[in-house]
Structure 1
Amino acid sequence: MTARRPTTTAARALTAGAARPALLVLALSASLVAAAAPASAAVPDPTVTGPVPWTTAVGDPGHGYTFLATDYGLAERGYVEEEFFLSGEATRYAADGAADATVLSTGHDYTTRVVVRRPVDAADFNGTVVAEWVNVSNQWDQEVDWFQTHEHLVREGYAWVGVSAQRAGVHSATGLRAWGPERYGDLDVTDGGTVTDDTLSWDIFSQAVQAVREPAGTPLLGPLAAERVVATGHSQSAGRLWSYVNSVDPLADVVDAVVLHGGGGVMRTDLGTPVFKINSETDVAVDLLGAAQRQPDSDVLRTWEVSGASHGDWKLITDYGPLRLRDIGSLPGGFPGTPQTCAQPSGSRVPQHMVQSTLYDHVAAWVEDGTAPPSAPAITLADGTVATDDRGLGLGGIRLAPQDVPQRLNSGLNTGPGFCFLDGASAPVDDATLASWYPDEDAYVAGVVGATADAVAAGHLHDGFAQDPAWYSDVVEAVEERVADGRLSGRAAERLVGRVERAAAAADAGDLRAAAREMRLADGVAERQLRGDGDAVATVARSTAAVRAVVALGS
């Protein structure tokens, strides 16, 4: 395999310790590239088996289907989900994130799985593969970055590959082997129990990416050809990828960029691989995996921090919850309708996932032609804690409308048992208080539109923001909550919900004209037909008008 960029050693010699701009690295002369050791040649090609057929229907207790098979309508969007098994011999690395990794031993047998979600037609593929190191904090595979950004990835033609690289996801009491013995019983990332740590995981991940980039046998992407591969991982997986990009990537050289989501400490300054960090208010507040150990942006490093966002947020809980219930038998903490165990209602509603989706677009361009992503302001810290305004809302960072023009008090902080400290909070604000904050509906709508337009202009929000389902689901939830507790009544509330849901479906399909029409009709229902408590009606009307204006802005 030909090296795509100089190894760390070559980069040091060329730059005297300074990181090179991505475009210059990619444009180095052929003689310099040839002089660099082809580190990526050290990554062997694994044996690929599959696609592995399902032997039961999804949800069947026989578990003959892909664990956490998506419930998102891929087929109607021209996508397919497939699962493959990868086998080979992996190298054990010692990787401390401070220096190049060292080899501990070689020749360790492994078999793992990857899940691929991709366009069926090569003409619909944008050339970028997002390769996710799946999270195993719960002792089973959890594809956090897919849950957060799948709508955008599919709309924009990305391919997504989830890699099961760690022991917990395969071998724990709730791992793949135990979950589906007939389907996954031959998986083994421990070389028959002889490797009892995760020192094989880095090379297993490299080999999975190698199989994506340059398939030696069965192609993981079918008819698609990967032009660039972006590694991504959340929380615990961000920690693994931090070690990977600092220590193993200089030897493997198979990824084009790395996204560290919710963690990742100090980066080496002599690397050539672009790294993009995205951290929530939670991550910065608790210094999760080094998230508060800030470094200046550089030619190969960007850090974005999102005000009011939480490590485990509403988007993750609500998208992941039904699949967890189906395949594990339990719901995540904070899921709607379950007992609330945290001090505050968990799961910030600040839609950090929109920013994360935008980030992938920037990374793809960064790798493709050296277009540097914009920088972003940091969350404001005072004596090591997040500085807040008089409502308790965090200051600084990337600011989205729900933080600048709030209808709920979103925060990255919470307390309570288990993962409460990571789940953040979203405390409701009573309708009378909201009426006092926003006595002029037009001013509120202008605030939402202004905050959104500012984020787009700064490059922190992609142009397709109006297609995101969060705008619409927030209105539906606001109506349904008030109907449930008697603050709204009558058939008008049902009509309003129906209109907003149709607008959401149209927006997701890319038909913003139809979405605008439905939101105009919904706005009319909210303004003229809703019945109930006056302040509750005003809250819903205000929210509906704002979404209508957001759709107009995005059209």
Structure 2
Amino acid sequence: MTKRIPQATLLPRTENSFPWGAADRQLVPTYLEKYGYEEEEYLYSGEADVYTLKDGRAQVKFSNAPYTNRFIIRKPKDPKKFSGNVVVELLNSTNSWDVSPMWCLLWQKMLHEGDIYVGVTVRAICTQTLKQYDTKRYEKLSWKNPNPNPGPVNHNILLWQHCLPDCEDGLLWDMLTQLGNLFKSEQGTQIAGKEVEKVYAISCSQSSMQLSTYINVFHETDRVSPVEVPYDGYLTYSGCRMVALNQEESPADVTDEIQMTKNCPVPLLRCVTQWDFKDFTGHINLRRADSDEQGDRFRLYELAGQAHNSFSGAFYRPGYEEIAQIQKITALPHTDITALPLEAFMRQALTNLDLWAREGIPAPHAQGLIEVDENNMEVLDENNNCKGGFRFPQLDVPVATYCSGTKKNDQDSCCVYFSEEKLKKLYPTRRNYIDKIFKAIDVLEEQRFFSIEDADQMKLDTLKLAVPCRNHSSKFEA
């Protein structure tokens, strides 16, 4: 099996031309130089096949279609500080422009550890937006449809809305493979500064559906794949059903056998939220048991109380000037999103993925799955929080009801705080509350769901809360 390695070309940043999604131009800027990091952008070009799904296997429909895609990279300035890990995020395309929700969750860990972050465009519609943003900078981007007589685009499916008939989103699968190949080649060593040891793929929402498709079709042990997959592990968040392999076809039904992820030979950590129990996501049909088998290394974490969007994702995104340049309208971010410690959980999940891939230390198992009734609706406890699943400390020692969906945005979560009367009944003294929440944090840290540093920070943050009532003294009571 021949490995195809694309050619990468640096896109220089100038006074008047800079990457879309540059870290220092986000709504809340990240100044990478403060962390000893630098940011670059590359075009990468090669040839990709377009596939169709037949008898559970990917078969080539059109071959050797030329393409040019782009990726943004954030890496240590000093190659000696590079950890050896390249973390590739499939950028989210829900709004037809690239955003990086996983970077929002993980950037502090990656910069602390010396990981290299790569964000790659995964939809043709986003290249159109990039050209609108900076025509000259991105003029060479191309996802041209190799079909000389293209049929109608299938818009009647969950993901491929906003398809471009003269392009082919199905070029993505080989683009992903070849990007991994690139970083494991001599060319990748030159870009990284030293040899790359591990390449992981991460994703959120729609991009997790694309990554799940890639895993199911191209990286299952018992499925004949037309390519040799270069990725050493996967971390997905909120999204697991498959999409179509090309934009003229429909995806497999959610009940189809191929939709069930199984037999992935590298570690796969799948994180889904309470929001993912909505019918159209398909998650309820795709639940499965954890596995430690060498040919099937899998973990499922159902995050109770957590909705689709994260708190940090509201702010670490392209700034208003960038949005204005593509003539889009976006609402002001709001801060009533439940601030469960999702970032801490995801940071440790990436650590656990790396430990499993490098040292063979399996990731921890969640306490169980979210409980559902005969209608597949979440079962609620006496505080109207769902039962079961991975439980943040705030779920077992609650001060609020954690909701999946708000009036402002169905994908945001919120919390409805208990009355002072109820808080005093649950926690007669402040010491009582602190003891319980600290114990819950300690248990999850011992189980390797939180790092020691994040657990300590959670305790400090807890001490700032005025519980059992909001005007309560911050001093401990006997």
Answer yes or no: is the 8 Å Cα contact 1:282–1:309 preserved in 2: yes
Q: Specify the alignment match of 1:256 in structure 2.
A: 232
3-state SS in 2 of match to 1:199:
helix
Match of 2:370 in 1: 379
Contact 1:263–1:291 under 8 Å retained in 2: no
**Structure 1 letter corresponding to 2:104:** F
Instruction: Give 1:287 deviation, angstroms.
Output: 6.1
Mean Cα displacement is larger for which, 433-442 or 159-168?
A: 433-442
Q: Secondary structure at the match of 2:190?
A: coil
SS of equivalent residue, structure 1 residue 206? helix
Q: Does 2:131 correspond to 1:168?
A: no
Q: Does the residue aligned with 2:234 lie in a helix, a strand or coil?
A: strand
Tell me if structure 1 keeps the 8 A contact 2:67–2:141: yes
AA paired with 2:19?
T
Counterpart among 395, 410, 413 of residue 421 in structure 1: 410
| Aligned mates of 2:459, 2:78 — CA distance in 1 | 30
Shift of 1:466: 4.3
Using the alignment, how far apart are the partners of 1:136 and 1:424 within structure 2? 21
Measure, in 1, the Cα distance between the counterparts of 2:332 and 2:380. 24
Equivalent runs, 1:94-113 vs 2, <5 Å: 94-95=52-53, 99-113=56-70
Matched with 2:88 is: 131
Structure with greater Cα Rg: 1
2:271 pairs, out of 278, 297, 318, with 278
Distance 1:285 1:352, change over 3 A: farther
Where does the alignment leave 5 or more consecutive residues of structure 1 unmatched?
Answer: 1-38, 57-63, 338-344, 479-525, 528-533, 546-555
**CA offset at residue 180 of structure 1?**
1.4
* Cα distance in structure 2, aligned partners of 1:194 and 1:149: 35
1:7-30 Cα deviation digits (max 9, x unpaired): xxxxxxxxxxxxxxxxxxxxxxxx
1:445 is matched by which residue type in structure 2?
I
Q: Which runs of 5+ in 2 are unaligned?
A: 24-28, 147-163, 220-224, 242-258
**Residue correspondence of structure 1 range 299-318 to structure 2 within 5 A:** 299=293, 300-318=297-315
**Alignment TM-score, normalising by the size of structure 1:** 0.70
2-side partners of 1:434 and 1:306: how far apart?
24
Equivalent pairs: percent with the same residue?
22
Secondary structure in structure 1 of the residue aligned to 2:471:
helix
Higher helix share: 1
Q: Matched residues in 1 for 2:446 and 2:136: separation?
A: 52
Paired with 1:454 and 1:218, the residues of 2 have a C-alpha distance of 40
Which of residues 130, 133, 148 is equivalent to 2:105?
A: 148
- Read off the aligned partner of 1:538 and give its amino acid letter: H
Aligned with 1:335 (options 324, 333, 336): 333
Matched, 1:84 2:55: no
Cα shift at 1:475: 8.2
Partner of 1:445: 434
Change (3 A) 1:430 1:117: farther
Which residue pairs with 1:517 in the alignment?
none
Deviation track 1:427-475 (CA, whole Å, cap 9, x = no partner) reads 344555544443311111112211111111222222221476x777888
Distance in 2 of aligned mates of 1:447 and 1:326: 46
1:484-513 Cα shifts (integer Å, max 9, x gaps): xxxxxxxxxxxxxxxxxxxxxxxxxxxxxx
**Residue equivalent to 2:381:** 389
CA contact (8 A) 1:165 1:202 kept: no
* Equivalent AA in structure 1 for residue 52 of structure 2: A
Matching of residues 509-528 of structure 1 within 5 Å = none
Change (3 A) 1:205 1:473: farther
The equivalent residue for 1:53 is 13
Which residue of structure 2 aligns with residue 319 of structure 1? 316
Equivalents in 2 of 1:273, 1:132: separation in Å?
A: 17
Q: Of residues 175, 182, 196 in structure 2, which corresponds to 1:226?
A: 196
Q: Deviations over 1:128-162 (max 9, x none)?
A: 21111111011100111111111122122221111
Aligned-pair CA distance for 1:122: 2.9
In the alignment, the residues of structure 1 paired with residue 349 and residue 169 of structure 2 have an alpha-carbon distance, to the nearest angstrom, of: 29
On the 8 A contact 1:99/1:246 being kept in 2, the answer is: no
Counterpart for residue 353 of structure 1? 343
**CA distance change for structure 1 residues 307 and 367 in 2, over 3 Å: closer, same or farther?**
same
**Partner residue, 1:196:** 167
> 1:149 & 1:188 partners in 2: Cα distance?
30
The answer to whether the Cα contact below 8 Å between 1:95 and 1:244 also exists between their aligned partners in 2 is: no
Q: Where do residues 482-497 of structure 1 align in structure 2 (5 Å cutoff)?
A: none
SS at match of 1:464: helix
Shift in alpha-carbon separation, 1:326–1:447, aligned structure 2, 3 A:
farther
Counterpart of 1:89 in structure 2: which amino acid? E
Deviation at 1:359, TM superposition (A): 1.1
Equivalent pair of 1:307/1:399 in contact (CA under 8 Å): yes
Alpha-carbon displacement from aligned partner over 1:271-305 (angstroms, at most 9, x marks no partner)? 42332101111113546243652111112111111
How many aligned residue pairs are there? 422
Q: 2: CA distance between counterparts of 1:51 and 1:219? A: 16
In structure 2, distance between residues paired with 1:103 and 1:473 = 54
For 2:240 and 2:419, the matched residues in 1 are separated by: 38
